[in-house]
Amino acid sequence: MSLVPTRPLPVLGSPAVLAIADSAPRARMSAVMLGALPEASGALGLAVLRSADTPSPARIRAELEGTRYVGRRVPLLTVGQVRRLVRRRRPDAILLNCSGPHTEALSWSSRSFLRRYRPVVASSLPVPALPAAEGEWLHRSRVDLVVAHSHHEVDEYTNLGEKLGLKGQVGLASLYPDRDERPEGGYRNRVVFAARPGLPAGTLGRETLLLTLAGLGEDRPDLEVVLHVGPEGHPELLDTWKALVRSGSARESALTVVSGPLREQFDRARGLAALGSTPVLEAVAARVPSLVITDFGVGPDQGNSVFEGSGLFGDLKDLRACRFHRPSRAWGERNHFHPVSDDDWMERLYDLCGQAARGTLR
């Protein structure tokens, strides 16, 4: 399905857009957004900010699979190199898909270091970005266009921006294109738990979770129970698992531990469980039945507030019984799974570029 919007964009001589990300997932987000621009656009490309947490080139390449930027070399640039690149190439718009502090630092310099050149500055919120946080807005106080990825986020951040007296617009961009049905696949015998670093907190919580997964693996030899620790790993969880195996509390063969991109697990997935956040959104986008486990809490600290009203909440007993769910359509259309035709970030971006070209952008 094409991500090019059905509504025509203003004709402004193909504004050139440069995207800067500071992590592998944000590089993928940037590639998806740049890929949504019309083929005739003047996209300058994508770069990743070099910092203490710079992802490896291999990790970046893995995240760009399935996008327009697959196989392309993505440069790693310092803040100074980003400034010099902008000064040399003079893009019409800069898309800063970075953490709040990096966005704040780059947006100040992008708007002020040249006297007669004023690019439009846009920045995506993290995914998910609820509940709306003052810090996320304040880091983007000098951004012309804040990009959210659900109607719910647009409403919440628009209201918050008005309360804070901030003038930036809030636009909508899809990250998960419409898909009417789950793709055909083979025998789906894989149950995946997607771990999140730092959660659950405490040895007791990790042991409870791991023993539930191991029990499922023992009870259901027809299933492959997968513990997905992600490319960055989850040392606390893995150390707890090794301790349970050494003590005889669990058999090592009960779980299969994997890393790498989560989407590689979806083809054979019967269901996915997580404590919330991005893994569940990815699974829902892939039409994989999911379970947001609530035994360890519900709220911003757990990263699962966005799933309230989705129908995906459950507990470890549901996981042990392999009870997975699909979200309600109403929740999905309000939270990240709206039709692509609802997107307006490109129209807003092109309009702002037109104002900049005319010298009327404040």
Residue 246 CA to residue 207 CA, distance in Å, equals: 13
Query: Computed over its alpha carbons, how large is the radius of gyration of the chain?
Result: 22
Give the DSSP H/E element, type plus range, for residue 191: strand 190-194
Residue 4 in any domain: the answer is: no
Residue 348 CA to residue 337 CA, distance in Å, equals: 20
At residue 182, the pLDDT reads 52
Residues 83 and 221 occupy one common structural domain: no
Residues 174 and 240 occupy one common structural domain: no
Residue 86 CA to residue 88 CA, distance in Å, equals: 5
Residue 287 CA to residue 270 CA, distance in Å, equals: 10
Residue 145, strand partner residues: 122, 169
At residue 302, the pLDDT reads 77
Residues 99 and 164 occupy one common structural domain: yes
Residue 133 in any domain: the answer is: yes
Residues 302 and 352 occupy one common structural domain: no
SS3 88: helix
At residue 171, the pLDDT reads 97
Residue 184 in any domain: the answer is: no
Q: Which domain holds residue 216?
A: 190-334
At residue 318, the pLDDT reads 97
Residues 117 and 83 occupy one common structural domain: yes
Residues 44 and 146 occupy one common structural domain: yes
Residues 151 and 245 occupy one common structural domain: no
Residue 155 CA neighbour count, 13 Å, CB half: 6
Q: Is the peptide bond before 200 cis (omega within 30 degrees of 0)?
A: yes
Eight-state DSSP code of residue 116 = S
Residue 6 in any domain: the answer is: no
At residue 40, the pLDDT reads 46
Residues 272 and 285 occupy one common structural domain: yes
Q: What is the CATH number of the domain that holds 105?
A: 3.40.50.2000
How many residues make up the chain in this entry?
362
Pairing of strands 169-172, 145-148: parallel
Residue 126 in any domain: the answer is: yes
CA distances from 91 to 88, 96, 184, 296, 351 (A): 9, 13, 42, 46, 15
The CA-based dihedral angle spanning residues 92, 96, 101, 104, taken in that order and rounded to the nearest 10 degrees: 20
Residues 169 and 294 occupy one common structural domain: no
What is the pLDDT tens value at each position of the chain, 362 positions in all? Answer: 233 333 334 444 578 999 999 999 999 999 999 988 876 455 578 999 998 888 888 889 989 988 888 888 899 999 999 989 998 889 999 999 999 999 998 987 655 545 578 899 999 999 999 999 999 999 999 999 999 999 999 999 999 999 999 988 999 999 987 655 555 556 789 999 999 887 888 899 999 999 999 999 999 999 999 999 987 778 899 999 999 999 999 999 999 999 888 989 999 999 999 997 889 999 999 999 999 999 998 887 777 889 999 999 999 999 999 999 999 999 999 999 999 999 999 999 999 999 988 888 87
Residues 126 and 61 occupy one common structural domain: yes
Which tokens belong to 217?
A: 């693996």
Residues 139 and 204 occupy one common structural domain: no
At residue 13, the pLDDT reads 56
Residues 253 and 106 occupy one common structural domain: no
Residue-wise DSSP of 286-319: TT--EEEE-TT--SGGGT-GGGTTSS-EE-HHHH
| Count of structural domains, the chain | 2
Residue 11 in any domain: the answer is: no
Residue 12 in any domain: the answer is: no
CA distances from 202 to 198, 215, 299, 318 (A): 9, 20, 18, 22
Residue 7 in any domain: the answer is: no
